[in-house]
Amino acid sequence: DQQVKQNSPSLSVQEGRISILNCDYTNSMFDYFLWYKKYPAEGPTFLISISSIKDKNEDGRFTVFLNKSAKHLSLHIVPSQPGDSAVYFCAASARAGNNRKLIWGLGTSLAVNP
């Protein structure tokens, strides 16, 4: 039973257009969400995050939107560039005792075409 779902395994976008990657979650205890980017043969790298007290966080070309009532978040990349082609993982964090649990989605493979 996946608590964090990225329902689109892949996405193809034209260079210069907007890329929208979606993520749904089921656990209302999640209070912090992160997006990671992964190139082939490399580990994931942190991209952007958002706390559940916010509904938007922006960093350059990357914006994450959070809709708590729908338990949905999305990552917008605009304008998309060929170098953005990678696998994007959504992760959700919740308190677990003195620690925090981080649950990952399966990832969405983004291809930005020149």
Partner 1 sequence: ETGVTQTPRHLVMGMTNKKSLKCEQHLGHNAMYWYKQSAKKPLELMFVYNFKEQTENNSVPSRFSPECPNSSHLFLHLHTLQPEDSALYLCASSQAIPGQQNTEAFFGQGTRLTVV
Chain residues binding partner 1 by CB under 8 A are: 2, 4, 31-32, 34, 36, 41-46, 49, 51, 89, 91, 93, 95, 98-106
In whole angstroms, the minimum distance from the beta carbon of 72 to partner 1 comes to 18
Contact between residue 26 and residue 70 where contact means Cβ atoms under 8 Å apart? no
Matching residue, tokens 């608590």: 3
In whole angstroms, the minimum distance from the beta carbon of 65 to partner 1 comes to 18
Q: How far apart are CA 18 and CA 54, in angstroms?
A: 22
Please tell me what DSSP assigns to residue 9. Answer: S
Cα four-point dihedral sign 16, 10, 86, 20: positive
Closer residue to partner 1 (CB): 63 or 93 = 93
Closer residue to partner 1 (CB): 4 or 13 = 4
Closer residue to partner 1 (CB): 18 or 39 = 39
Closer residue to partner 1 (CB): 13 or 47 = 47
Closest CA to 110 of 42, 12, 7: 12
In whole angstroms, the minimum distance from the beta carbon of 112 to partner 1 comes to 22
